[in-house]
Amino acid sequence: MRETYGPGFYGADDDYFDWFYLKNPCLWFAPRLAEGIIPVNAILSERRQIAALHAYLPFDAITPWGGQIGVWDIEWINGSGIRGAGRALVRHLLQGIDIYAGFGCNELSENAFRKIGLEVKPEIPRCVWMVDAEGWARVAESAGIPPGMGGNRTQERHIGDRHYHRIPLGSVPDRVLEESLSSSQMGVTRRRTWLNWRYVQHPFIRYDIISADPDGLGGVAVVRVENIAGTEQTVCRILDLLTEKNGLPRLLTGILAFANREGCLLVDYFTTAESVAGRLVAASSVAGFEALRNPPLPFMFQPLAMSSRNSINFVASVGAQVPQPIDFGGFYATKADANQDILRSTHNAPVLKPAAIP
């Protein structure tokens, strides 16, 4: 794989590769890992060199029909010179799974997905809470973002008198995890082993587990403080919300208090499920805060002036063994569930040199 990706690619780092593919606790793929098989489909040349590949991340799915085989689209690379080789690999994968999904596809891959018949949503629901309205207004002005999205100072003052607690992920109560799982009819199974792998064992990124309660009984959030490219300012990303139904308003106060203490300009959260975004907006109102739903703010901040979308896009399909049709508006996933929370730049993305395939 290192020969394919090159020495400068983040995903080819030994620690990251071992964690992402070889230590993934997905139950349905575990027997294949035990056999030394990694989750990559490829087209090989006669010399057994990789000419085209499709990397995917296996996950344990929750579905209304009981299917548990899910995959996240990670990477298509086609250096074979054969048009449509990438699509052929995806079609092959779809034959044996329940759910196929991906975040952040570019225009080229989006067109390929549509040709295969996959559902593409240009933007998924996003919720934003302003923490430092004045600070955000300065950054937005310097980046040429139209005025009027600076939030309100009343909310900023209101956040300042709230409290939060950092707790170990291992101390999250079982009943919180159980209720989080039972509330989803379709999505990703958030077992304790998966959460530990995703956040505690990550080789490069630090995450904070935030609760409004010292024991986490009301629920916890997994968050990450992230720099806005080209500035000294930060935002707080919510990667996961694990909470009891009635605990969401109080948990949000803890998240905002954490972001305020860390000096973040804003908090944001992405989800594929409309119903979850709606509950967050309602919970914010109960807690006395304003949640901005899909506001015209660039979602990557890299750089601010060049962002063309307000939220991340999403692609999804069901496999050949699944009853049709399926409404993916009820599928619950966040950026944490695929490989969106990574540190890769456009300067070291993988490229395969074209090769003639007999």
- The pLDDT value recorded for residue 349 is 47
**Helix, strand, coil proportions of the chain in percent (round to 5)?**
35, 25, 45
Q: How many domains does the chain have?
A: 2
- 336 contacts 272 by C-beta, under 8 angstroms: no
Any domain includes 168:
yes
Any domain includes 353:
no
User: Are residues 76 and 176 part of one domain?
Assistant: no
Q: With a cut of 70, which residues of the chain have pLDDT below it? A: 1-13, 79-81, 146-157, 301-308, 339-358
pLDDT in tens, 268-304: 999 999 988 999 999 999 988 889 888 877 777 666 6
First to last CA, the chain: 22
Length of the chain in residues, anyone? Answer: 358
| Cα-Cα-Cα-Cα dihedral sign, residues 253, 258, 261, 266 | negative
Any domain includes 199:
yes
pTM for this predicted structure:
0.86
Angle in degrees, CA 236, 185, 97, rounded to 5:
95
Angle in degrees, CA 227, 235, 138, rounded to 5:
90
User: Are residues 136 and 67 part of one domain?
Assistant: no
User: Are residues 139 and 115 part of one domain?
Assistant: no
> Could you tell me the residue range of the domain that residue 81 belongs to?
2-122+313-348
Any domain includes 95:
yes
User: Are residues 140 and 53 part of one domain?
Assistant: no
